[in-house]
């Protein structure tokens, strides 16, 4: 790590600022920061840990702004926050003992479904919809399950949380995005603590990137508050499509499609 130049650290910080901005609006900031860390020569485990450090600050910054603007109340989310923390921690431990191969086959299908939902669902709007389950049931089911997935694998977590809040609790898309950032912060923090205990975080890089994420998250949350569904919906579609393509490429797209079709 001593060979990293100041210019590289500054470049990574700028990447994290852009990622924090995008992540606050639609998620998927890790699509920028994790490859950047790997390209900088950071070993994969340390890159994942450092990515969680800077991502935690970005989601914290966005969450603080959403709370201050009255879009979300952490007090009302206490059970969801607890379930998310536990789910993410269990997932982060499980991935160290279980290969996530099965999830690699399923995730592209889920991301395609999420993209189609964002495009065609009339629920994706800045108006309240129909509530289908209670908040406690939502916390226990969705908070735990999606957070476990985040700790275990991760791509698309923000999209899945937004869909759950819109489809099951009937929240407007801006409020759904605000609630999602609080739970994103919670799951990031749970995984980060485990990485810190394991001594995997590269602090000399992670802390400058965390500053970039904090600024980017703040700026992105202002865009969500000011523009609402006009910017969030298309951003969710684009990010979901990009994540789908990335997961397919990582899994070997043609081979994955053949396996899915049973060919």
> What pLDDT shows up at residue 263?
47
CA pair distance 93, 151, nearest whole angstrom: 8
Q: Is residue 257's pLDDT more than 60?
A: no
Note the pLDDT tens digit of each residue in 190-217.
Answer: 989 988 988 889 999 999 999 999 999 9
Picking from 138, 50, 143, the residue whose alpha carbon sits closest to that of residue 88 is 143
pLDDT at 242: 85
Q: Which two tokens stand for residue 53?
A: 């450090």
Indicate the pTM of the whole model.
Answer: 0.84
- Of 14-18, 38-42, 135-139, 179-183, give the lowest mean pLDDT range: 38-42
Instruction: Give the span between the Cα atoms of 117 and 119, in whole angstroms.
Output: 5
Residues 216-243: pLDDT tens digits? 999 999 999 998 888 888 888 888 888 8
pLDDT at 168 over 90: yes
Contact 40, 204 (CB under 8 A): no
Where is pLDDT greater, at 164 or 110?
164
Instruction: Please determine, for residue 183, whether its predicted confidence score (pLDDT) is greater than 70.
Output: yes
Q: How confident is the model at residue 48 (pLDDT cuts 50, 70, 90)?
A: confident
Residues 61, 83: Cα–Cα separation, whole Å: 21
On the question of pLDDT at 1 being above 70, the answer is no
More confident residue, 260 or 70: 70
Across 10-14, 61-65, 112-116, 153-157, least confident range: 153-157
User: Of the given ranges (2-6, 13-17, 42-46, 251-255), which has the lowest mean pLDDT?
Assistant: 251-255
pLDDT tens for each residue of 131-161: 999 999 999 999 999 999 888 777 678 888 9
Is the pLDDT confidence value at 65 over 50? yes
């Amino acid at each position: 790590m001593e060979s990293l130049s100041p210019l590289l650290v500054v470049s990574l910080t700028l990447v994290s600022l852009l990622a924090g901005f995008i992540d606050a609006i639609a998620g998927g900031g890790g699509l920028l920061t994790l490859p950047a860390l790997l390209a900088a020569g950071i070993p994969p485990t340390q890159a994942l840990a450092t990515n969680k450090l800077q991502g935690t600050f970005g989601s914290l910054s966005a969450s603080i702004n959403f709370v201050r603007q009255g879009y979300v109340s952490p007090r009302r989310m206490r059970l969801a926050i607890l379930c998310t923390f536990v789910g993410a921690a269990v997932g982060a431990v499980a991935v160290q003992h279980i290969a996530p191969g099965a999830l690699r086959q399923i995730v592209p299908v889920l991301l395609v479904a999420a993209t189609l939902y964002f495009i065609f669902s009339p629920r994706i709007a800045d108006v309240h919809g129909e509530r289908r389950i209670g908040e406690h049931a939502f916390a226990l089911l969705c908070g735990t399950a999606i957070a476990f997935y985040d700790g275990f694998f991760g791509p698309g977590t923000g999209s899945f949380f937004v869909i759950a809040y819109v489809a099951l609790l009937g929240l407007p898309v801006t409020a759904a995005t605000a609630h999602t950032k609080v739970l994103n912060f919670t799951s990031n923090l749970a995984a980060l603590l485990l990485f810190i205990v394991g001594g995997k975080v590269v602090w000399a890089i992670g802390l400058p990137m965390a500053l970039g994420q904090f600024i980017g998250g703040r700026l992105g949350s202002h865009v969500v508050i000011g523009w609402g569904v006009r910017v969030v919906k298309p951003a969710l579609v684009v990010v979901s499509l990009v994540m789908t393509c990335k997961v397919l490429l990582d899994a070997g797209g043609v081979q994955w499609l053949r396996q899915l079709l049973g060919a």
